[in-house]
Every structure is written in C-alpha cells, then in structure tokens.
Amino acid sequence: MLFAIGSDHGGLELKNAIKKLLEERGISYVDCGTDNGDSVDYPDYGEKVARKVSGGEVESGILVCGTGIGMSIVANKFPHVRAALVTDTFMARMAKEHNNANILVLGGRVLNEQQACDIVATWLDASFEGGRHQWRLDKIAAIEKQLCQQ
C-alpha cells in the first residue's frame, strides 16, 4: 500500500503528525511537500498528490491546507479522484464506506493533531460498502467521462 501526502504551510504541522501515524501503521508514503513553513500556493501541492492518485501511481492520498477547502477544489479536478474534506470521524467513515474517497482532505487550522489522527485512522480502518454506493460512483464516473470528451 503506497500513499501520497502533501500540504501547504497551513497544513504542515498536521501533515507531520499524520506521517507519524502512517509510519506507526507501516504504511509507505511519498511526501510531496511542502517541507517548511514558508508561504506556498496550495494548488501546487494538491496537484502533486492528486496526479499520483489519478494516474494510479499511489493507492490513496492525504492533503492538508489551512481549511482543506482549497486542496479539495484542486484534487477534485483530476479524473478518478474522489477527494473528501472531512472534519470528524463520522464523516471519515462515510467518506470510505459510501464515497470510497481516495483522497482525504483535512484543515490544519480546523483540527488539532488528535482529531486529525483519529480521522485518518477511522478512514484507514473503514471499507467501501459497494452495492448502491458503487452505482452512484459509476454515475459520477460517467459524468466525468462525458465532460472529459468535450
């Protein structure tokens, strides 16, 4: 299992906490930056992670910016990406069980480290339920396909 993780300056601290959690769980990851607290543009880092998920280079991604909003907007531009901005463990579970989210997005100025790690752990431990939820994802994929042909 290989993940990609990325943040801007607003998400850096939380990203570092999440990296520790992934390491504790033996999950390999590619850190797409940023590496320091200098102000950067979130689309640059959202793109790096979303491109890897979209192209199948990694299984899943985690993105963190100040609110999570900017990263969600960027990531969901990419084909095959289902990025979910999550603020609690209920949403984390639903993001996997119903939406099969392949990128988890968090807000570094919204959540503390404990909340973020609980959310990531819940998302990792949950499983996609398939069935009617798969039909709905198929509908999203059909819209995406149609739009990409235009």
Per-residue contact track with ligand RB5, 26 to 65, x per CB under 6 A?
----------------x----------------------x
Number of residues that bind ligand RB5 (CB under 6 A): 8
Query: What is the residue type of 47?
Result: E
- Alpha-carbon distance of 83 to 104, in angstroms, equals 6
Query: Is 65 part of the annotated catalytic residue set?
Result: yes
Question: Is 9 an active-site residue?
Answer: no
Q: Are 139 and 124 contacting, i.e. CB atoms less than 8 angstroms apart?
A: no
Nearest to 113 by CA among 8, 14, 9: 14
Residues contacting 79, CB < 8 A, separation 6+: 54, 144, 148
> Active-site residue among 65, 80, 117, 148?
65
The distance of closest approach from Cβ of residue 21 to ligand RB5 in the complex, given in angstroms and rounded to an integer, is 21
Residue 105, interface with ligand RB5 (CB under 6 A)? no
- Exactly one of 70, 78, 100, 123 binds ligand RB5 (CB under 6 A); which one? 70
Of 9, 32, 80, 98, the catalytic one is 98
Question: Per-residue b/e over 3-19, b at no fewer than 16 CB within 10 Å?
Answer: bbbbbbbbbbbbbebbb
Using CB under 6 A as the criterion, which residues of the chain lie in contact with ligand RB5 when the complex forms?
A: 8, 10, 42, 65-67, 69-70
Any idea which residues carry the catalytic annotation? Answer: 65, 98
